[in-house]
Chain A
Amino acid sequence: AQSVSQHNHHVILSEAASLELGCNYSYGGTVNLFWYVQYPGQHLQLLLKYFSGDPLVKGIKGFEAEFIKSKFSFNLRKPSVQWSDTAEYFCAVTGEYGNKLVFGAGTILRVKS
C-alpha cells in the first residue's frame, strides 16, 4: 500500500529564511506527486505537481520541489519565505494511473514577521 511520510509536523521560521519540507513516499511503481497547501481559514489548494520529465518542478508563489527517484523523495523548497506562507503543507502521491491521493500527515509552517 502507498504511504507518505512528512518529516516535520511543525516548522517555525523567520521571514527571509530558506525553507525545505521533507516528503518521502512508499510505492513500488511509477508515481505522480503533489504538494497541497492550506492557508488559515481556506481550503486545500494545489501548490505544484510532478508527473514526468524534469524532476525539478516549479509551482506557485516561488515554491519548487525536486523528485529524487532513488530516494523516494519529493521535498518542497522556497529560498526566502514570507509571513504569508504561514500554512499547513501536505505532500500526496498517486499511482501512475488512477487518482486516489494518499496524503502525508502535513507540516504546519509558521513564519514570524
Chain B
Amino acid sequence: EAGVAQSPRYKIIEKRQSVAFWCNPISGHATLYWYQQILGQGPKLLIQFQNNGVVDDSQLPKDRFSAERLKGVDSTLKIQPAKLEDSAVYLCASSQMPASARGNEQFFGPGTRLTVL
C-alpha cells in the first residue's frame, strides 16, 4: 500500500514570498490533516478535512495560511506571505475513518521542510 506522499521535500524562500505544499493521502482515506512541526516541538494540527469539507481549522493562521482539498483527495497548503516564524516541517497525514471516529490511526507523510530567510 502506498503511503502519504508530499512534495516538495524541501523549500527555501525569502520572507514575504508565497509557497505551496502538496499532499496525496493514502487511497480511500476520508480524513486528511496538515500539521506544523517547529524545531524542538511536537507537531501541531493546522487543519483537518473530512472528504473535501473542513472539520477543524481553529489553529490555522487564516490571515496568511490557506488550504483546500479538491474532490476529497489531494490537498494543498499555501502560505502567503511567509514570515520567518513559518520555518518548520509541514506534515500531512491521513486516516481511513471519519473525523468523529474514536482515535483512528493517522498515517504520516515524510513532510516538507520550509526555511524562510
Q: Does B115 contact A (CB under 8 A)?
A: no
Complexed CA–CA distance, A102 and B44 (Å): 7
When C-beta atoms are compared, the residue in chain B nearest to A96 turns out to be B102
Complexed CA–CA distance, A51 and B56 (Å): 22
Q: Does A71 contact B (CB under 8 A)?
A: no
Residues of A close to B56: CB separation below 8 A = 100
Contact at B45–A101, with CB atoms within 8 Å? Answer: yes
When C-beta atoms are compared, the residue in chain B nearest to A44 turns out to be B108
Contact at A104–B42, with CB atoms within 8 Å? Answer: yes
* Inter-chain contact total with CB atoms closer than 8 Å: 62
Q: Does A32 contact B (CB under 8 A)?
A: yes
Q: Does A46 contact B (CB under 8 A)?
A: yes
Contact at A44–B102, with CB atoms within 8 Å? Answer: no
B interface residue count range (under 10 / 10 to 19 / 20 to 34 / 35 or more): 20 to 34
Q: Does B109 contact A (CB under 8 A)?
A: yes
Render B1-18 as a binary contact track against A, CB cut-off 8 A, 1 for contact.
001100000000000000
**What's the tally of chain A residues with a CB closer than 8 Å to chain B?**
26
Known contacts: A32-B103, A49-B103, A97-B100. The answer to whether A103 contacts B108 by CB under 8 A is no
Partner of B44, one of A94, A96, A98, A103: A103
Those of B15-69 within 8 Å (CB) of chain A: 31, 33, 40-45, 48, 56
Residues of B close to A36: CB separation below 8 A = 108
Q: Apart from A43-B3, A99-B95, A100-B56, list 8 A-B contacts with CB within 8 A.
A: A43-B111, A90-B43, A92-B42, A99-B97, A99-B103, A100-B45, A101-B43, A101-B45
9 A-B pairs within 8 Å (CB atoms) are namely A4-B42, A43-B91, A44-B91, A97-B100, A99-B101, A99-B106, A100-B45, A104-B42, A105-B40
